[in-house]
């Protein structure tokens, strides 16, 4: 029974169905339970939170990532699946501590000074939560010093910085320099991303990693966790 319901959760993540009212990618799914109903049912049936996350949510998003890389899925498709996972994680959050599941780490995320775009940051946040990380979102248009103070207070293992404009990506470097000036740079791994950002740029400003999209960002954080 556990395998059946986690498989259904996985399939509905792939379909991008949050609730029974959602259509999904295939026809004829309206009225069938979506991810949130299935997660609630799995909890009621005594399925472990670990299985719901690993066999259902994370497994589903892995398939979505493959489809996105193969250009079978596009950004709206990925957003629908990410929304389904985000809603599921909200349901599961109170159960995480009870079940003894410890988070892999804490990551602060922010869109840098002068930039109000947040879609990419929000997708990465949802995917990281689904992968087992505690994510604290500092918001958009965040000054370097505000990020420094948050790092000092929260003591995260990771810091994710996003920018969508070439005119604002310069503030990523300023933020890393501010961390150095406050003797905090060695305490946190910095991962950057956004449309104008590149691997070369990440290296040039001293970032620890670069994610071209949400899935790659998660992979980078995972690799840095294992390092």
Q: What is the pLDDT of residues 124-162, one digit of tens each?
A: 888 888 777 889 999 999 999 999 999 999 999 999 999
DSSP one-letter code for 102: P
**Domain boundaries 106-226, CATH class:** alpha beta
The pLDDT tens digits of the residues spanning 168-220 come to 999 999 999 999 999 999 999 999 999 899 999 999 999 999 998 888 898 99
Q: Please give the model's pTM, rounded to 2 decimal places.
A: 0.75
- Whole-number Å distance between alpha carbons of 192 and 74: 22
The answer to whether residue 102 scores a pLDDT higher than 70 is no
Topology of domain 2-98, per CATH?
A: 1.10.1240
3-state class (DSSP) for residue 164: coil
State the Cα–Cα distance between residues 63 and 66, nearest whole angstrom. Answer: 5
Closest CA to 13 of 64, 70, 68, 47: 64
Domain residue ranges in the chain: 2-98, 106-226
């Amino acid at each position: 029974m556990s395998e059946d319901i986690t498989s259904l959760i996985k399939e509905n993540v792939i379909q991008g169905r949050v609730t029974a009212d959602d259509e999904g990618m295939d026809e004829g799914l309206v009225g069938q339970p979506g991810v949130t109903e299935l997660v609630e049912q799995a909890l009621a049936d005594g399925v472990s939170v670990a299985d719901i996350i690993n066999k259902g949510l994370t497994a589903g998003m892995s398939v979505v990532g493959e489809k996105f890389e193969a250009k079978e899925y596009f950004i709206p498709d990925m957003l629908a699946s990410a929304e389904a996972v985000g809603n599921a994680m909200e349901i599961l959050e109170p159960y995480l501590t009870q079940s003894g599941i410890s988070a892999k780490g804490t990551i602060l995320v922010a869109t840098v000074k002068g930039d109000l775009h947040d879609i990419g940051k929000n997708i990465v946040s949802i995917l990281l939560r689904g992968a087992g990380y505690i994510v604290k979102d500092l918001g958009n248009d965040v000054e370097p010093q505000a990020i420094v103070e948050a790092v000092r207070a929260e003591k995260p293992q990771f810091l994710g910085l996003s920018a969508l404009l070439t005119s604002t990506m310069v503030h990523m470097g300023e933020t890393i320099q501010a961390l150095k000036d406050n003797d905090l740079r060695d305490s946190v791994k910095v991962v950057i991303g956004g449309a104008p950002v590149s691997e070369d740029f990440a290296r040039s400003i001293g970032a620890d990693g670069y994610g071209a999209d949400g899935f790659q960002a998660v992979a980078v954080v995972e690799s840095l966790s294992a390092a």
